[in-house]
Amino acid sequence: MGRRNQAGFSIVEVVITACVVAVLSSVALTQYREFTRRAKVSEVVLAGNQCKTMVSEAYPVRDTAPPAGGWGCETASAGTKYAGAVRTSSNGVIRVTIENVEPLLNGRHVFFVPSKPGSDAGLVTPNDLGVSVRAWICGSDWEPARNSLPANCRIDTTTFASDDFE
């Protein structure tokens, strides 16, 4: 009898290959979902830019503090798929609501707080009126939302979340 040539893969090789593919697929899927979530939340951050500009322009020239919702940039809908209402406090803190991202984040908020450079305290009306807004504190009052924000926007803004927003 002659020797038989074997061709193909053994069952052990096929099982190991299937396991490696499954692990790599699960990691890739998780990374893709996180990337998608971060892209959607970045749109929420961008939705606050117009209001940031209006507050920045108003702080140095106002001599009286506006009421909550009186900065002139508030909207019931930010006009994007993932950003909802844009609201302001009397101190110029901007709150943008997260919508249509995923159940975990929907209804949560991103906050933009006018501040001085290097300060973790926001500007306060009427004391700081007449001062230029030189920096913005950006973040959320809820950790899972902060983790989805861009790296430069992950500050805990819980102290500002209790402001009155209109």
Per residue in 90-113, pLDDT tens? 999 999 999 999 999 999 999 999
- Report d(CA 1, CA 71) in Å as an integer: 94
Residue-wise pLDDT for 25-82, tens only, equals 988 888 888 899 999 999 999 999 999 999 999 999 999 989 999 999 999 987 889 9
DSSP tag of 122: B
Predicted TM-score (pTM) of the model is 0.84
| 3-state helix, strand and coil shares in percent for the chain, rounded to the nearest 5 | 35, 15, 45
Distances (CA, A) of 66 to 29, 43, 75: 47, 27, 16
Cα–Cα distance between 125 and 135 in angstroms, integer? 16
